[in-house]
Amino acid sequence: MKNTFTLKLVALALLVGFSSCSENQEEAIEKAEVSKEKLQQIYEMGFGTADVKAVDGGYLVEGDIFLTDEQLNETKDPKFLRIGETEQYRTTNLVNVGTSRTISVAISTSLPTSYVTALDEAIRRYNAENLRIKFRRVSSGYNILLSKAPAGSSYLASAGFPTSGNPFNSVRVNSDYLGSNPGTNYLATILAHELGHCIGFRHTDYMNRAYSCGGAYTNEGASTVGAVHIPGTPTTADATSWMLACVGTGQNRPFNSNDRTALNYLY
């Protein structure tokens, strides 16, 4: 999710817009230029290339989505992409759940204790929907680990997409910016959004992220790969979806009726 300082809407698609990164920190963001080859691979996966950042272990696209070199080098599986107004989108990769599957989520001690409460609330929101996919918080043996983002990170939180039928295994949260107690519902909204990416959801305003982030019209990447419309979700703007690219500071976005349609369709 993003937080743009230059806009009146301070947002959650998860770019913070810090003026500089701390280069003397061990985990500072790499500032190497992204090659044309990598940008082409990112484009071919169906992601926007306007603001790609090289980060530790891969690349950050569309504000909060983490891609590794391994993912970029995989053989692409083209899927039909419906171009509409503002709809729910998924990736071509989902989590294999069968009749039921529980995803174990752990949270690192590098994050403040208030983040545990927010994670529990995010998990509660998913489990209250009685989906085939469920979440539980564990201390070990996790499928997904929430940990502190590297010092100087330019996002509020980041995650990736499923591979080989399993959820993406990492959510990094910028507690340096969010602080020790950003508010349970606000933080739960951020974490539920990132968990949404981990199980295969893209941004609701994929076709025009300016809807939630402000600024100029921005399509996140009109390709035949990586963004598949979820039937039954609206073709008009959806102002309260938990998967919008940006959210106002302190805003709470529990699942709305269209979110529930999307969740039930996939899981």
Residue numbers of the domain that contains 191: 36-266
Beta strand extents in the chain (DSSP E only)? 53-55, 58-61, 65-67, 89-90, 101-107, 133-137, 144-148, 157-158, 170-173, 228-229
Structural domain includes residue 15: no
Q: Tell whether 6 is covered by a domain.
A: no
- Residue 13, judged by CB atoms within 10 A of its CB (0-12, 13-18, 19+), counts as buried
Tokens of 71: 């993912």
Amino acid type, 189: T
Reading the block at residue 14, the tokens are 């998860």
Instruction: Please report, as a single letter, which amino acid is at residue 88.
Output: Q
CB-CB neighbours of 110 under 10 Å: 12
How many percent of the chain have pLDDT more than 90?
40
> Do 202 and 238 form a contact (C-beta atoms < 8 A)?
no
CB distance 228 to 92 below 8 Å:
yes
Please tell me the predicted confidence (pLDDT) of residue 201.
86
What's the whole-number average pLDDT of the chain? 77
Assess whether pLDDT exceeds 90 at residue 140.
Answer: yes
8 A C-beta contact, residue 52 and residue 60: yes
Contact (CB, 8 A) for 189 and 252: yes
Residue 2 lies in a domain: no
Q: What angle do CA 77, 78, 80 make, to 5 degrees?
A: 140
Q: Using pLDDT thresholds of 50, 70 and 90, give the confidence band for residue 133.
A: very high
Tell me whether residue 211 is in a domain.
yes
- Residue 53 located in a structural domain: yes
Rounded CA-CA distance 90/196 in Å is 10
* Overall average pLDDT of the 218-229 stretch: 47
pLDDT at 52: 84
Kindly state the tokens that stand for 104. 């174990």
Q: How far apart are CA 198 and CA 44, in angstroms?
A: 20
Residue 124 covered by a domain: yes
Number of structural domains found in the chain:
1
What residue type is assigned to position 201 of the chain?
A: F
Q: Which residue has the higher pLDDT, 204 or 20?
A: 204
| Inside any domain, residue 22 | no
Mean pLDDT (whole number) for 229-258: 82
Structure tokens at 212: 């939630």
Q: Is the pTM of the predicted complex or chain greater than 0.85?
A: no
CATH of the domain at 64: 3.40.390.10
Q: What is the H or E stretch that residue 210 is in?
A: helix 210-213
In a domain, 191, yes or no: yes
